A and B are shown apart, each in its own frame.
Chain A
Amino acid sequence: MSRKRFHGLKRIVPRFRMTWNKYNLYNLSRMTSPNNTGTYFQQKWKAKAATRAYHGEQIREKQWQRMFTSRLNAVVPMDHRYLGEHDGSELAAGRGSGLEKRPEGKPTSHTLTPYMHMTYAPTERRLDVAIFRSLFASSARQARQFVTHGHVTVNGKKMPYPGYLLNPGDMFHVEPESVLFATGQTKDREQVKAGRELKRARRVANTRRAEKRTAKREKALQAIANKKVAEELAAEPTPKAPRPVMTDETEARKQRKADLQELVKQVKAILENKKAPPPAKRKQDLREINREIKGTMSVLNRKPVSEIETSIDALTSRLTNLYPSNPLARVAKIKKSDSKPASEIAGEAQSSTPEYTAEEKKKMREAVVLSRENPVDESKPYATPWAPRPYMSAFAFIPRYLEVNHNICSAVYLRHPVARPGLAEVPTPFSAEQMQLAFNWYLRRR
């Protein structure tokens, strides 16, 4: 048997889902109040099936049964003036002596608390449902996908579990690009094609630019490293000239040792320079030098001083050969790049603006801001300039237990949904009778 359609039209009682689909809207318009035919069990079954198709359809039945609780949250709005003026004794005073006041008439829908509409309140705590309720996704399934694809953070941390139960005070954030995609109009065929071509062109250009950039960077790094070495060499006094003539041999050996250590330090500094790491070939050379220095160090006390001195000189010269000093190479390049003086640019800008009245200017500025905020960009996955998707307005509401800031696509889960006299905070398309039947289904003894 093939799978049933998600937004089926065929059923006598069509299923209403948590989406902004136009089929769904049509099904909502066709929804009828259930007729009370059949046994009580049948009625409950039907009510359960209809309500579960909307509330947490993506949750497995067993999972929902575990979430279900017969405790339903409600609040009573209190008037602080009443509380201040009365201590409650006036309600009990005169009971039995005819002084009590009977409430007039039947309780109306304004005074009754719709507890049964809170049956599915536990599902509203889920992250995916909360994202759908905040109007960040066009369906609960899409919200779920955003979560699993890592586009959602809770309190600044990535949260990949759509079943995460939000706690009061939790802030969740969906990537604005995803939100714009979910709530924006879809592209038509031509726009998709144009977008694809644009992306391809960009990709090609990017790879070329990247190649060029890497080549340039290599050069620049080389220059920086050279400069550094040259500076270091310049800062250090040349080892030969100021050194006094050694009379004592041990003293001379000590001096050589210090020289060698200094050399090691230099090589190490070049090797470990994070800002301008030497290329692989250069590294090999440097390591070779390092090895030779160590070899010389090991025979420092055995070989004659003159021999060691010559080897040290050779090593120093090799190091300087590797990094010939040309610190001015980069500076010259920088000087070339800034060519246009600022005054010239300002003059151009001024010359291009003809005279307008203040109002026109303001309007134009607004239009410019609007177009800048909402530009045409074929590479986006939604139609640009962005516009809300059709049929969104019929589904656009935000329940009170969420505080949403749409500018940053973030929302705070303030508290668990509650019922209050005349109002229930759980958005549900079903009537109270149907919810009651569903509630009774999930009570353990049915």
Chain B
Amino acid sequence: MPPPLRSASVLSSTPCCANQLCRTTGQSSRPFSTTPRHDQRVTRARRGLFRWLTSQGENFRNPLSGSTNYMGAYDNKSGVLKRVLEAREHKTLERAQKGEKEPEKTGGQSAEENAKTLPPETQRDRVPFPHNKMFISQAVLSEELREEIWSQVMKEGQSVREVSAKLRVEMSRVGAVVRLKEIEKEWKRIGKPLARPYSRAVMSMLPKTPFDPHHIVSHESINDLPVHASTGQQIFHPTSESRRFTRQDAAKVFNKRLLPADDRIPHPELVIQHRERVIDGLNVEERKERAELRAAEAEERREKRAAREAAAEARVQKVEGGRWEFRFTPINTDDAGKDGRGYGGVGWRYGVPLYDRSRGQIKIPKSVA
């Protein structure tokens, strides 16, 4: 006996408005199937979905021209942009104060008209997830700003640190932008096609930091102090009232080896420059002189370190095998120390047994510094 025909599979009663949205309401790939089609079954939940997609959800279908289009920017009930609602309210209030009558409503305003008269977006409108106000879609670098960063670093030969301080972009980001731009230029040079339409579409959906040579807009805070683990504790540290208890001292209290905030921020040179200009009141020449002196010192330090590293490298005798490079370093048997347990000794890193539980071991300190 053939299976009875089920009406659900034959008569699909999706609402007509949802027809375009529902993927499976078109031609069926299995026109003679008698299995109830779960995809097409119209439940209350699905009706709700399609109702939402045709009303409030319609806002998100296409990107909003000239603005971001996040859910946090919309009033969830009416499906209208919050800033548009506010602007309307503001207008009506103004009119009420002036004592004018409200003009006749001209039906539904067209989307284009809306886009033209859209009030500027604020930080509140950049919340993609309405329940999490702590996450906002932060601006990305605009194409012009990226090009500028690249040209300042690669063409004018400025250091990453300078460019970062000038354009208010993190140093790591400056480096990344230059790296990526270089690849982009290389692609252009060899004629590899760029994903231009995609890039254009994405950039139109994102908030951007513009570039204006006369008025630099800060992209992000460049002097971020990472919160150190040892500063997470509250310490009661009694000290005399007369003592000048500075950041340096506070850092020492938290951890003996912790540096003060002045030295842990990415741009300590900005602090020094500001101090010289405002507190010490130095003129331009003096400041320049000092900056040069500092640069020379840094250079000297770098050279010293490089020389030390080169010397250490030269001390290693290298023998090239077919597969391995054998490296021989001179050792001194005395490095192992009197008890043979010194960390300079050979094999120390491969595990020196701990004898602290065996008899006759001295466990109290052997020296007092």
Chain A interface residues (CB < 8 Å from chain B): 9-10, 22-23, 25-26, 28-29, 31, 33, 71, 73-81, 83-85, 87-89, 92, 95-97, 109, 114, 117, 135, 168-169, 171, 176, 179-180, 183-184, 189, 373-374, 385-388, 390-400, 403-412, 414-415, 418, 420, 422-432
Contact, CB under 8 Å: B140 / A398: yes
Q: Quick check: which of B92-100, B173-181, B320-328, B349-357 contacts chain A, the rest being far away? A: B173-181
Contact, CB under 8 Å: A26 / B57: yes
CA distance A88 to B265 in the complex (A): 15
Contact, CB under 8 Å: A408 / B227: no
Contact of A29 among B56, B69, B195 (CB under 8 A): B56
Smallest CB–CB gap between A56 and chain B, Å?
A: 17
Q: Mark B194-226, 1 if CB is under 8 A from A, else 0.
A: 111111011101100000000000001101111
CA distance A352 to B226 in the complex (A): 65
User: Which A residues are in CB contact (< 8 Å) with B267?
Assistant: 80
Contact, CB under 8 Å: A114 / B223: no
CA distance A424 to B135 in the complex (A): 6
Contact, CB under 8 Å: A393 / B63: yes
Q: Quick check: which of B2-10, B108-116, B271-279, B284-292 contacts chain A, the rest being far away? A: B271-279
User: Which B residues are in CB contact (< 8 Å) with A420?
Assistant: 221, 224
Q: Mark B235-248, 1 if CB is under 8 A from A, else 0.
A: 00001010011111
Given known A25-B60, A406-B198, contact A10–B45 (CB-CB < 8 A):
yes
Contact of B180 among A74, A394, A412, A418 (CB under 8 A): A412
Q: Name A175's closest neighbour in chain B (CB-CB).
A: B195
Contact, CB under 8 Å: A415 / B132: no
CA distance A192 to B241 in the complex (A): 81
User: Which B residues are in CB contact (< 8 Å) with A29?
Assistant: 52, 56-57, 71, 76
Extra pairs beyond A189-B26, A388-B198, A418-B224 (8, CB < 8 Å): A10-B43, A22-B53, A25-B60, A31-B131, A73-B226, A77-B223, A85-B274, A424-B134
Contact, CB under 8 Å: A75 / B206: no
User: Which B residues are in CB contact (< 8 Å) with A73?
Assistant: 226-227
CA distance A425 to B69 in the complex (A): 19
Contact, CB under 8 Å: A96 / B241: yes
The 6 closest A-B pairs by CB, nearest first: A88-B247, A397-B137, A84-B274, A77-B221, A412-B176, A406-B199
Contact, CB under 8 Å: B274 / A423: no
Contact of B225 among A75, A385, A425 (CB under 8 A): A75
User: Which B residues are in CB contact (< 8 Å) with A71?
Assistant: 229
Q: Name A397's closest neighbour in chain B (CB-CB).
A: B137
Contact of B63 among A79, A84, A392, A427 (CB under 8 A): A392
Q: Is B343 an interface residue (CB 8 A)?
A: no
User: Which B residues are in CB contact (< 8 Å) with A88?
Assistant: 245-248, 250, 260
User: Which A residues are in CB contact (< 8 Å) with B229?
Assistant: 71
Smallest CB–CB gap between A337 and chain B, Å?
A: 24
Smallest CB–CB gap between A169 and chain B, Å?
A: 7
Contact of A92 among B21, B137, B245 (CB under 8 A): B245
On chain B, the number of residues with a Cβ less than 8 Å from chain A's Cβ atoms is 89
Contact of B265 among A80, A183, A431 (CB under 8 A): A80
Contact, CB under 8 Å: B57 / A25: yes
User: Which A residues are in CB contact (< 8 Å) with B225?
Assistant: 75-78
Contact of A428 among B62, B129, B141 (CB under 8 A): B129
User: Which A residues are in CB contact (< 8 Å) with B260?
Assistant: 88
Contact, CB under 8 Å: A169 / B172: yes
Q: Is B133 an interface residue (CB 8 A)?
A: yes
Q: Is B262 an interface residue (CB 8 A)?
A: yes
Contact, CB under 8 Å: B195 / A394: no
Contact, CB under 8 Å: B194 / A75: no
Q: Is B83 an interface residue (CB 8 A)?
A: no
Smallest CB–CB gap between A72 and chain B, Å?
A: 9
Contact, CB under 8 Å: B48 / A403: no
Q: Is B162 an interface residue (CB 8 A)?
A: no
User: Which A residues are in CB contact (< 8 Å) with B84?
Assistant: none
Contact, CB under 8 Å: B196 / A403: no
Contact, CB under 8 Å: B131 / A78: no
Q: Name B60's closest neighbour in chain A (CB-CB).
A: A394
User: Which B residues are in CB contact (< 8 Å) with A426?
Assistant: 135
Q: Name A413's closest neighbour in chain B (CB-CB).
A: B176
Smallest CB–CB gap between B228 and chain A, Å?
A: 10
Given known A83-B262, A89-B246, contact A9–B201 (CB-CB < 8 A):
no
User: Which A residues are in CB contact (< 8 Å) with B271?
Assistant: 80, 83-84
Q: Name A77's closest neighbour in chain B (CB-CB).
A: B221
